[in-house]
Chains A and B, each alone.
Chain A
Amino acid sequence: MPETKYKQEMAFFVDMQRCIGCHACEMACAECETNGQESMIHVNYVNRAVSVQTTVQVCMHCEDPTCANVCPADAIHQDDFGVVHSANTSRCIGCSNCVLACPFGVPKKEEKAELMMKCNMCYDRTSAGKKPMCATVCPSQALFYGTRQEIERMRPDSVPVNTFQFGNQEVNTKVNIMMPKGTHKLIVE
């Protein structure tokens, strides 16, 4: 990796209950140059038949990423900052292992291009000390990029959590989710 101005004191905080489904983040994500102008963020209805609730999902940048482990082509790389990068274009064979194994449902497969792509926390911006595109445009701050002190001041009744339980598997991530105070883990049944 080239020299960067990545700010390690900055962190990503997601609160999907604040998502209003405006899709502004999708439009902003498509501006990210590391994605080749493809939007990598996911906004979808949780269960449209019974609710208008929407959810937003960025890559959570797992500490031990399942996607990279199941990749047969060694195409997914985690850098020194813990950012899990989109597939190396020269290596990715488009097998979709990562798409199906990611517990958060993040990677996308570009079928014709035989390529997996995913959010890499706007590395073109974050490596230059800027905020990810989605976090700069989210009107409800479902997506927030800043310091831990800033989020604690803004959300006094919430706490950032980066541990998830999927079945028997505990997953720790670089990206945080905002949970009620006193919570240490989000258990997904």
Chain B
Amino acid sequence: MFRLFQTLNRTALVKATIAVVVVVILVLVGSRDLQNFDPALISYLLGTIFAVFGIAYRYSVWLQRPPTRLYWRRSMQFLFSKDFIPYAWRSLRLFVRNILFQRFIAYRSRTRWVGHFLLAIGCLLAFAITIPLTFGWIHFELKPGDDVTYYAKVFGFEAGTFALGSVMAFVAFHGLVWCSFLVIIGSAMMMKRRLTDGGLIATQSLSEDWLPLILLIAISVTGLGISYDYTFLQGKTYQFMAVTHAIVVILWLVWLPFGKFFHVFQRLAQLGANLYKHEGQRRGMAVCEHTHQEFATQMHVDDLKLLTKQLGFDYEKKDGRNHLDLSPEGKRSALAKAHFQARKASGKFFG
């Protein structure tokens, strides 16, 4: 047990602890000293705090890896430069396109994009509803003398009203039901791929590929169970529905930092990689000495030379040149030429 603490990454531990403290402060402030906090959601809050700790810890460890650190530093350097406004605008557009709408997946397969988008948007909307509710940032109340109007409060401030029994009330109160349908349809589409695609069948695993989908469906179905219970069963099975839903959601929250869902947070690095490429193109391209064509940004090639050295690889040649100065085609040709020369020197090309 003590050994576990000794192996913990100190920087990550500090950052994760700070993240947890910030969240707790935001809960206290947002819920007006817990006045608007819903005690029924305490287990979800604890699960979320654990997830925040785990995600911040893993993210911090991840950023310490040399290649990740390089991209992180470079992208921050470019973003907070004199070109802040165009780069921030570029990142924002990419965020909407590639993070919110995940459009890059459409180029891998259109059906796959539809499935992923449905389950991702379902999850994101569900987060947008449940996190503010769990943290006590949003709550609804009836005012004395007016029992037909619901008042929505955000951070304790009045932010809108709607009449009970109205279409708006129906849509708002069933927000998580709509999310559940999106997630179930999306997950089912992704499951179908995993059952029928030969390549996926060969490489998939239970923990990385199936469990995430099973958990998402379990969360959605048990969540729908709560709505079904109070809509059609007069709350007779509420205890069962509420407890099973809480168990599945908390399991998911606890697993969030370790499993496949961490890719949601890693995906943001794609924005940094795009800035890196864009800025590199402005600074100049590298030309392959074999093909005599541009193949990458010079900054990228130079950074990789340093990075590979840092990682224990040394592709530098005796004459001061570097194998990484060659384009991929140049490297393949260099290998073929070396092979040709070795065969020629032996006096036999075949055999």
Q: How far is the CB of A166 from chain B (nearest CB, A)?
A: 4
Decide if B304 touches A33 in the complex (CB within 8 Å).
no
Interface status of A66 (Cβ within 8 A of chain B): yes
Decide if B107 touches A72 in the complex (CB within 8 Å).
no
Interface status of A123 (Cβ within 8 A of chain B): yes
Chain A positions within 8 Å of B337 at CB level: 46-47
Central interface residue in B71, B104, B314, by most chain A CB within 10 Å? B104
Decide if A72 touches B350 in the complex (CB within 8 Å).
no
Report the bound CA distance from A167 to B108 in whole Å.
37
Which A residues lie at the B interface, using CB under 8 A?
1-2, 15-18, 32-36, 42, 44, 46-47, 53, 55, 57, 66, 69-74, 85, 89-91, 93-97, 99-107, 110, 112-115, 120, 123-124, 127-128, 155-158, 164, 166-169, 177, 179-181, 183, 186-189
Choose from A97, A106, A112, A183 the contact partner of B304 (Cβ within 8 Å).
A97
Choose from B205, B267, B335 the contact partner of A57 (Cβ within 8 Å).
B335
Decide if A100 touches B304 in the complex (CB within 8 Å).
yes
Interface status of B308 (Cβ within 8 A of chain A): yes
Overall SS of chain B's interface:
helix
Decide if B314 touches A180 in the complex (CB within 8 Å).
no
Overall SS of chain A's interface:
loop
Given A32-B199, A186-B338; A100-B324 close (CB under 8 Å): yes
Chain B positions within 8 Å of A183 at CB level: 342, 346
Contacts between chains A and B (CB distance < 8 A), count: 202
Interface status of B296 (Cβ within 8 A of chain A): yes
Decide if B197 touches A33 in the complex (CB within 8 Å).
yes
Among listed B77-85, B131-139, B269-277, interface-contacting one = B269-277
Chain B positions within 8 Å of A107 at CB level: 328
Report the bound CA distance from A2 to B210 in whole Å.
12
Report the bound CA distance from A99 to B296 in whole Å.
10
Among listed B8-16, B17-25, B315-323, interface-contacting one = B315-323
Q: What are the 8 A-B residue pairs with the smallest beta carbon separation, nearest first?
A: A180-B346, A105-B328, A157-B351, A55-B336, A105-B331, A33-B198, A33-B199, A34-B199
Q: How far is the CB of A188 from chain B (nearest CB, A)?
A: 4
Decide if A17 touches B349 in the complex (CB within 8 Å).
yes
Report the bound CA distance from A187 to B198 in whole Å.
38
Decide if A128 touches B202 in the complex (CB within 8 Å).
yes
Decide if B317 touches A167 in the complex (CB within 8 Å).
yes
Report the bound CA distance from A46 to B339 in whole Å.
11
Central interface residue in B273, B318, B330, by most chain A CB within 10 Å? B273
Report the bound CA distance from A53 to B323 in whole Å.
22
Choose from A53, A100, A114, A169 the contact partner of B104 (Cβ within 8 Å).
A114
Decide if A74 touches B62 in the complex (CB within 8 Å).
yes
Decide if A104 touches B331 in the complex (CB within 8 Å).
yes
Report the bound CA distance from A35 to B197 in whole Å.
11
Interface status of B278 (Cβ within 8 A of chain A): no
Decide if A16 touches B339 in the complex (CB within 8 Å).
yes
Choose from A57, A94, A112, A168 the contact partner of B315 (Cβ within 8 Å).
A168
Decide if B315 touches A103 in the complex (CB within 8 Å).
yes
Chain B positions within 8 Å of A2 at CB level: 201-202, 204-205
